[in-house]
């Protein structure tokens, strides 16, 4: 199977990019605001694609833990709240910005780690390659649609958090 359509590989690629963006957002010599804009879009698009296409499919597999799927959704909500708090800080690089960034890093890193150890390993073990490829295509389509719609804008993140 091509790794370019395997849903597990696509999710992992996004996870690694999020970690790179965290490093950029911490670096005073980098375009921290630009990294935050990219991160915001990626986080929201990634989570929405998982929740709309991947999580519902994984729920149908007997060996994939429903509680882990629910927990993933809860952690997405926590990540969105932490993201909004950072997006609403007026001055990039201020003490408040650094504090909100670390809260975001903590929330999202915890989720990435847990998802990789539970849901993604369950998918590797129990979901057939062709189904993982189908899920990957569906995930990529929703992700691209959401990115094109500027889903990481502060207005959209605010609406998601308040809903």
**Residue-wise pLDDT tens digits, 40-86:** 999 999 999 999 999 888 877 766 666 777 777 888 999 999 999 99
Q: Taking the C-alpha atoms of 144, 150, 153 and 155 in order, what is their torsion angle to the nearest 10 degrees?
A: -110
Query: In whole angstroms, what is the distance from residue 65 CA to residue 82 CA?
Result: 26
Q: Which CB contacts under 8 angstroms, 24+ apart, belong to 58-62?
A: 58/119, 58/122, 58/123, 58/127, 61/122, 61/123, 61/126, 61/127, 62/126
Q: How do residues 98-155 score in pLDDT, each as one tens digit?
A: 999 999 999 999 999 999 998 899 889 989 999 999 999 999 999 999 999 999 999 9
Of 79, 78, 82, 100, the C-alpha closest to 32 is: 100
């Amino acid at each position: 199977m091509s790794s370019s359509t395997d849903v597990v590989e696509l999710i992992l690629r996004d996870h690694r990019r999020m970690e790179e963006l965290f490093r950029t957002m911490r670096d005073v010599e980098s375009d921290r605001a630009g990294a935050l804009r990219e991160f915001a879009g990626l986080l929201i698009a990634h989570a929405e694609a998982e929740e709309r296409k991947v999580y519902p499919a994984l729920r149908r597999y007997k060996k994939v833990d429903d509680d882990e799927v629910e927990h993933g959704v809860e952690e997405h909500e926590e990540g969105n709240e932490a993201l909004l708090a950072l997006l609403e800080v007026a001055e990039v690089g201020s003490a408040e910005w650094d504090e909100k960034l670390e809260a975001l890093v903590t929330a999202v890193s915890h989720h990435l780690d847990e998802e990789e150890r539970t849901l993604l390993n369950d998918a590797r073990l129990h979901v057939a390659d062709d189904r993982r490829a189908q899920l990957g295509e569906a995930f990529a389509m929703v992700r691209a649609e959401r990115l094109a719609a500027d889903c990481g804008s502060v207005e959209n993140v605010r609406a998601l958090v308040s809903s």
